[in-house]
Structure 1
């Protein structure tokens, strides 16, 4: 494994969770090499990856300049990156706001990612149609968007009056949901504040750059 760059990121060309880490790495100007695992072939479960991540899922990050420090779980990774390398607090906060930042990271990890992922699975990938499961998880997607919309109708960003890792953590699953899960819904009309927030995030140069790279890789 080359250590020419500070970080190695085990990830997937299209999967949502790895790209939020890329957004943070790009936003902080950190150097990294992405190792794309083929999930269809089960590469994430092979020893070359599980030696670092016993859970056998992506993403996994190695910080070569911090004693080969290894970390997995996407929100733990972006919190580590912001705590250790965002010294100017460009995308992080301090004081009591830090706990609000953590609040949103936990909500994303427990309330958005799993439900949006299950909605996508039963709607798109599950070999048999299970209408009750589709309905349950789509309703959870709508509920999460309603929570976000209610908060963002009163403020521009989730924490501290600026874009932080809290906002960044939601980008990829929101994009997936708006394009695939809720494609029959006009999200700009149904969730105007959340939709406007998502557009602001997608227009951030570091996010736009990474998402354009993802589009190329996802089609390979």
Structure 2
């Protein structure tokens, strides 16, 4: 890949979804250039992503522009993980990976995001909304905890893009640089969900994750 051109990643440090893409690029050793977008609703960025959300990528090597983090992950795996470093070979395992990716994009991200919104940004205090989305966080963590019983990773006995896809939203809830104390006051996550907690700690310790969050961990 001597003639490989870096992939452009449009991101913002306040949003977990761009970190999903950056972590994957780091894991695969793919060169990239990160462009911070302060306002994704500006016309120049709407021309890239009509949804006006982050992340988005432009890959000059294939002349493709892609948005939606789940689609970007699938693209990077199919295009640049030919060796299967972050995937599995068997057909059942491949569908299980897709299953977990869909669960992350439809089940984890939206609920964790709404919890964040109602705890940090919503102009009025809405206790019922806070309670609902905290319960959804607990439900999602319960699903992961049960699925990780006796396992280190979700599929195939190794780290895959499925595990990595969950990292950034987990960080947004658990790490002190965000607001986990506000959400988890009174919750004993490591006691009640030990397999999930151990998995979270393993994933957060990976070099790709540490590199992605380096500016926040100083």
TM-score scaled to structure 1, two decimals? Answer: 0.90
- Aligned twin of 1:210: 212
Q: Deviation above 6 Å: which 4+ runs of structure 1? A: none
The Cα of 1:182 is off from its aligned counterpart by: 2.1
Offset at residue 5 of structure 1 (A): 4.1
1:85 aligns with 2:87: no
Shift of 1:14: 2.7
Q: How far apart are residue 213 of structure 1 and its match? A: 3.1
Q: CA deviation at 1:83?
A: 1.0
Instruction: State which of 173, 179, 196 in structure 2 corresponds to 1:177.
Output: 173
| Pairwise CA RMSD | 1.6
* Cα deviation, residue 214, structure 1: 4.5
What residue ranges of structure 2 are gaps of 5+ in the alignment?
Answer: none
Question: CA shift at 1:208, angstroms?
Answer: 1.2
Instruction: Report the equivalent of 2:71.
Output: 76
Moved more, 25-34 or 172-181: 172-181
Q: How do 1:144-155 residues align onto structure 2 when only pairs under 5 Å count?
A: 144-155=140-151
User: In the comparison of the two structures, how many residue pairs are matched?
Assistant: 209
Cross-structure match for 2:126: 130
Question: 1:190 pairs with 189, 192, 195, which one?
Answer: 192
Conservation of the 8 A alpha-carbon contact between 2:5 and 2:61: no
Matches within 5 A, 1:10-49: 10-38=10-38, 43-49=39-45
Change (3 A) 1:34 1:125: same
Question: How far apart in 2 are the matches of 1:145 and 1:208?
Answer: 22
CA distance in 2, matches of 1:209, 1:78: 18
Q: Deviations for 1:23-65, whole angstroms, at most 9, x for unmatched residues?
A: 0101111111111011xxxx20112211111000000011011
CA contact (8 A) 2:17 2:54 kept: yes
Tell me how far apart the structure 1 counterparts of residues 185 and 93 of structure 2 sit (CA, whole Å): 34
Matched residue SS, 2:213: helix
What secondary structure does 2:40 align onto?
Answer: helix
Between 1:119-128 and 1:140-149, the stretch displaced more is: 119-128
